[in-house]
Structure 1
């Protein structure tokens, strides 16, 4: 897969200048503003501006409950997003801005749930992924949606980001797996990423995973205490081969990456997937074995041979919707069983 260079609009750059992970000022409970404590934000979000929250990486989303019959979304500039109400299918809103009506047909009166996720700002896409709040009916309010007991993180490249699937991250195997299990989920993935930094400039998780935005904006370090996954699912190596990373170098860097992840998440189950086209399969398995020999009892290698159906690819590498669903079929029992 080709290396993808990220760009952002000038407006987005201005909005996140001086990015930190500071806690925003508290909002009135139920008012639908970004800092409303009834709205949960899953993934890596910049929350420094209390009136404009910015999601990074792929598949970050917000989730809340609300009363009344309608809900609208306040957007700053043009962006593509997907929204699900009451657990229904995610509806696409393409190139929208301003006040976006998510309920053109009014709902039944009562309690409802809402999930919103934005198209990832990456490659040639420079949409303004900035959440500025909700507009509710007069007298309506938000409420906390039913709690999700665990979070699973998916680490990878364009495959994990859902590239070439119909709804990108939303139809990617990580998002599908998490939603199917009723778990929170993150996709720390950008198209073209490697595990290893290379001389020809492949963006790599060994250095960028630790950042809030992975290089989208700035070089700020992510505050890992902001969420703790029960499991981390890793799918890396597809791009490294194309950038000349040797098997020995890949194995060593994978071992180190697993060790570093363990340092951030002492109790998480680490699941290392064989890349779906089989690159570095032996090296990935050997890295897991090295960590097991070092005393790590919660790391495992998963052989993905045969997971993709013959018609499960949109090209020679990327799964289509059917392929991502097939991967989720295999992953869900593994992820759902972690403690």
Structure 2
């Protein structure tokens, strides 16, 4: 059965299942409690090397301190217990990630290395963790699914504040509670060219973009969705339209051979290059019987002021792209297992992005349904000056199925919703209403749904004090 995606409050939240103490590890690269997300070269058991842009590691650990063993100089980001990422530059050797000791207990850790590509060349080599005496690692909770993003410098996140961590692929994965990775390289092309452009038509199967890189072991994980954004750079390397179309169809076949059940989404490049050829490549696979490959138009996705130059989206541009893309990825990871293309004048099956929610002066009517109880978990997952991103997980603790369901709350500090996903949002003053999405309108007893949003704030950003689900008050966990 196909994975039904419900966005998690934090994609890197970890848990300690029964028996975790017996399974605890020593923090070495081969420690099974450490989950290595994305493409990693694991041939040397003493030193794991991340490939491409979006690889990271997650684990749990006990004690009050954690240190990272590095070989040579590297820049990296790390987050402990879901807090905002900390950026370290030019670190090497045994790197202390807890200059201030943590409270004794169980903790979580995520580490992502600076993208080793383009003008930056660091030594991204993980050699293990150093913990307190008697402390140990704890297992990372298994992921709800995996989404892979394939592309060039735009997918890498070049020119954004945190590179891969502020790129649309990372943001979409976090919003949907999935493992995520960016198989991308600055300056990459679709077509491997004679003048040396890194071509994903050949390099997709590799553990990194480096010459002579080993083949990736696709048994390590299976992607539930693959999002491709290629073609922006090919025009500058003499690639003909015929060659591009043929190579794109070839890449789609390669992706399908490695991920038999994945939804494959071919994005229209944001600069509009090779659009007919991308559509035709998708159609080629559709005609051959693969109905789980889709062309995604992206007109209007990058807002005015959303570029840092003529090509690359800035932080705001990537957030806007993620807000449009996340519902589409979620749509193709939800029942039905194999989306059926909607017949239209165009032969290419095209998923339509959920429309940007528009604040409305009239709140949505409360849907009918049985009396219910509910529990809500509210989390701010990212915050920046003037804006933030939030997730709300609501659980139906009553005795009947709600179909449809509506969640309401009131902001206390003037926050205003800008974009929302996994539900239909409206806002009147401080009051926000969210109804379940078309692909998941019912909420059975004991079931949970998670909605996400980006919003503005100014001065204070307090969490709402109360929520209602179909008119019934919810317990705030």
Q: TM-score, normalised by structure 2?
A: 0.63
User: CA separation in 2, counterparts of 1:199 and 1:47?
Assistant: 30
Corresponding residue to 1:299 among 293, 303, 320:
293
1:242 maps to: 236
Within 5 A, what are the aligned runs for 1:1-339? 29-214=24-209, 216-337=210-331, 338-339=333-334
| Runs of at least 5 residues in structure 1 that lack an aligned partner in the other structure | 1-27
Change beyond 3 A, Cα 1:219–1:140: closer
User: CA separation in 2, counterparts of 1:36 and 1:201?
Assistant: 38
Aligned-pair CA distance for 1:79 = 0.3
Aligned-pair CA distance for 1:298 = 0.5
Could you tell me whether the CA contact under 8 Å between 1:272 and 1:302 is conserved in 2?
Answer: yes
User: CA separation in 1, counterparts of 2:310 and 2:161?
Assistant: 17
User: CA separation in 2, counterparts of 1:328 and 1:104?
Assistant: 34
Aligned-pair CA distance for 1:217 = 4.9
User: CA separation in 1, counterparts of 2:211 and 2:40?
Assistant: 12
More moved, 245-254 vs 148-157: 245-254
More moved, 241-250 vs 264-273: 241-250
User: CA separation in 1, counterparts of 2:114 and 2:30?
Assistant: 21
Could you tell me whether the CA contact under 8 Å between 2:229 and 2:267 is conserved in 1?
Answer: yes
Aligned-pair CA distance for 1:50 = 1.7
Give the secondary structure class of the aligned counterpart of 1:169: helix
C-alpha distance after superposition, 1:172-198 (max 9, x if no partner): 111111122211011111111111122
C-alpha distance after superposition, 1:193-247 (max 9, x if no partner): 1111223232201111122222x25242222222110000000000011112122
Q: Which has the higher strand share?
A: 2
User: CA separation in 1, counterparts of 2:296 and 2:41?
Assistant: 33
Could you tell me whether the CA contact under 8 Å between 2:149 and 2:228 is conserved in 1?
Answer: yes
User: CA separation in 1, counterparts of 2:95 and 2:213?
Assistant: 32
Aligned-pair CA distance for 1:104 = 1.8
User: CA separation in 2, counterparts of 1:233 and 1:289?
Assistant: 16
Give the secondary structure class of the aligned counterpart of 1:226: coil
Give the secondary structure class of the aligned counterpart of 2:158: coil
User: CA separation in 1, counterparts of 2:270 and 2:256?
Assistant: 24
Could you tell me whether the CA contact under 8 Å between 1:78 and 1:128 is conserved in 2?
Answer: yes
Give the secondary structure class of the aligned counterpart of 1:200: coil
User: CA separation in 2, counterparts of 1:127 and 1:200?
Assistant: 25
Q: Which has the higher helix share?
A: 1
| Runs of at least 5 residues in structure 2 that lack an aligned partner in the other structure | 1-22, 335-477
1:3 maps to: none
More moved, 286-295 vs 37-46: 286-295
User: CA separation in 2, counterparts of 1:198 and 1:49?
Assistant: 31
Q: If you compute each CA radius of gyration, which structure gives the higher value, 1 or 2?
A: 2
User: CA separation in 2, counterparts of 1:219 and 1:78?
Assistant: 21
Could you tell me whether the CA contact under 8 Å between 2:24 and 2:139 is conserved in 1?
Answer: no
Higher normalized contact order (CA 8 Å, seq sep 6+, divided by chain length): 1
